[in-house]
Amino acid sequence: MRLRRIKGTEEKLYAYTDYVIENPSELKGKWSEYFANDNPIYIELGCGKGNFITQNALRNKNVNYIAMEKAAEVIIKAVQKADNLKLDNVKFCHFNVNDILDVFEENELSRIFINFCDPWHKKRHYKRRLTYRGYLEMYKDILNDDGWLHFKTDNNPLFEFSLNEFVDTNLKIRNISLDLHKEENDWNIMTEYEAKFHSKGMPIYRCEIKF
């Protein structure tokens, strides 16, 4: 489903100067300096309406969070959540993941979250999936030696594809779950999509990947 563009959304988005980074590439290699601390930096690729990233930031004050989202009509809702909570350890980038190497330096990040990304169902579009090996190579560059990728999806074919990509690129996989909500997971914070799928009894697939 194509998202309806709303006139004036970007202007409203960039008015949240305490939260939205208008030119994130200018901070490449300088994110710790920008946050004014040495806390680890976690990013979420495709933050949606922001429940996951804002609740993580609220729970973990010793972590710096960055949310990336290409749809202004969506990310502004996430920014508004952060503003309502008065969070000072989360920032937002209206940016496309394809340009992620322009935003982060080598070894600059400690964790990447990919939650319920577009599965790109058609086989000819497999290279657009955020767990495709071309993207994995980019993540490898910007994660530090202790960095991990955390991946969640409701889409079984995408999860199988992703596991094969992880194995074929010699990555370490841990904590594989084929039905996340059947397990005890008080640590888990749901995205808006996840809450919707869970309410329908759909299984959620999850794993963690070390580069």
Note the helical H segments in the chain.
Answer: 9-14, 31-35, 51-59, 72-85, 133-142, 156-168, 192-199
Catalytic site residue 118? yes
CA dihedral sign of residues 55, 49, 66, 22 = negative
Catalytic residue (one of 18, 83, 118, 168)? 118
**Cβ atoms of 19 and 92 closer than 8 Å:** yes
Number of C-beta neighbours around residue 176 at 10 A: 11
**Helix, strand, coil percent content, the chain, rounded in steps of 5:** 40, 20, 40
- Per the structure block, which two tokens stand in for 139? 């993540």
Q: Which residues are catalytic?
A: 118
